[in-house]
A = this chain, B = another copy of it.
């Protein structure tokens, strides 16, 4: 069976060593990873199977991680991870969406096999794929273990990307660029919103002549006309009118690494005030980007940005950036650092952020953004789409 690994074994080993080191620091014996990006990071696992219970278990006393999932996905584990077959465990289909059988009991048995009955066990309490009932089942099945919240333990390690990861994210950035170009080419009065969305998906996935894209973590935010002020609205079948605003956030995704990109596209002639607002947004974004440097904090970057906006009398409540990397639905953002007031995370080379200072005002929205990796001296943009208001 051909193995589909996108990184050298040494890279997986380094990642595991970093996680075990942090586990040791926190006194965690066994780590139960329910988040698909963390499972992918530590083993390579990639299949759309995380809607049924699935874990990667890291034990201090066990060399490799152990993947646990549904029996029919075992073959994906063999194909996409570097794990030995012994470390791939699968529960039978009778556990799937059953009222009486819990896959978490199955997982608890593996924890016991690892000698974890009295262990200190880390779980991802704030993750998307650790449901309240899973926690109840696990703590019931392991009554003598001590459970501690290890949410984002792996996330903070993932925040700094390796050169091999950055290389993949450059490709993801190219995918975002070609998708945005396709949209700018497609948007015009009379085109159905759904046909614009279809063009985005097509280009995200067909990609370039050199490489294609994966499925994105989330649909494009295609917010048009009245919905241009609703950041996460769904598209409709309506045709674009002669004059309207399109606020679009899309992404490129390569080997599950995601780079995001948003632009505002105006059909017809933008009003002078809208044009002015877009220039303010672009200027503040540039100020924010120029503020990026290793050693500075997220909060300091946000402060520079905020002051640039304030010079024009504009206040923005929400954060202006989040990290991206390995992404699975439902969200592309990592949940660690935020570029926001008070976030004292210190920037380091290899961190990747999407700076997305969308201005969502009462009746108008503008979103012009930039994904970048922190470099040794500043930032390297991951997309090359011009930071401007597109007018069609």
Which of chain B's residues have a CB closer than 8 A to the CB of A136?
125
A318 contacts B206, C-beta separation under 8 Å = no
Are A236 and B4 touching (Cβ within 8 A)?
Answer: yes
B234 & A46 in contact (Cβ 8 Å cutoff): yes
Kindly provide the distance from the CB of A194 to the nearest chain B CB, expressed in whole angstroms. Answer: 3
Is the Cβ of B233 less than 8 Å from the Cβ of A47? Answer: yes
| Chain A positions 195-232 with a Cβ under 8 Å from a chain B Cβ | 195, 197-199, 201-207, 211-215, 218-219, 221, 226-227, 229-232
Q: How many residues of A contact B (CB 8 A)?
A: 79
Copies of this polypeptide in the complex: 2
Asked whether A25 is an interface residue with its Cβ less than 8 Å from the other chain, the reply is: no
In the complex, which of the residues A127, A199, A202, A338 has the most CB atoms of chain B within 10 Å of its own CB atom?
Answer: A202
Question: When chains A and B are docked, how far (Å) is the Cα of A49 from the Cα of B51?
Answer: 18
Question: A96 is contacted by which of B96, B193, B319 (Cβ under 8 Å)?
Answer: B319
Residues of B within 8 A of A236 (CB): 4, 212
A201 surroundings in chain B (CB, below 8 A):
198, 201-202, 204-205
The reply to whether B212 and A192 contact each other, CB–CB distance below 8 Å, is yes
B73 touches A226 (CB 8 A): no
CA distance A287 to B134 in the complex (A): 37
Q: Give A175 Cβ to nearest chain B Cβ, in Å.
A: 10
A106 at the interface (CB under 8 A from B): no
Chain B neighbourhood of A207, CB < 8 A:
194, 237
Q: A192 contacts which chain B residues (CB < 8 A)?
A: 206, 212
CA distance A50 to B76 in the complex (A): 28
A2 contacts the other chain (Cβ, under 8 Å)?
A: yes
**Is A151 an interface position by the 8 A CB rule?**
yes
Contact call A198/B212, Cβ cutoff below 8 A? yes
Flag whether A130 is at the interface (Cβ < 8 A): yes
A202 nearest CB neighbor, chain B only: B202
18 contacts between A and B (CB under 8 A): A46-B234, A51-B128, A71-B317, A72-B231, A72-B232, A73-B231, A123-B132, A125-B133, A125-B136, A128-B129, A128-B131, A130-B132, A194-B205, A197-B212, A201-B202, A201-B205, A207-B237, A215-B219
Binding site for B on A (CB under 8 A): 1-2, 4, 46-51, 71-73, 75-76, 79-80, 92-93, 96-97, 123, 125-136, 149, 151, 192-195, 197-199, 201-207, 211-215, 218-219, 221, 226-227, 229-237, 317-319, 322, 329-331, 333, 335, 338, 360
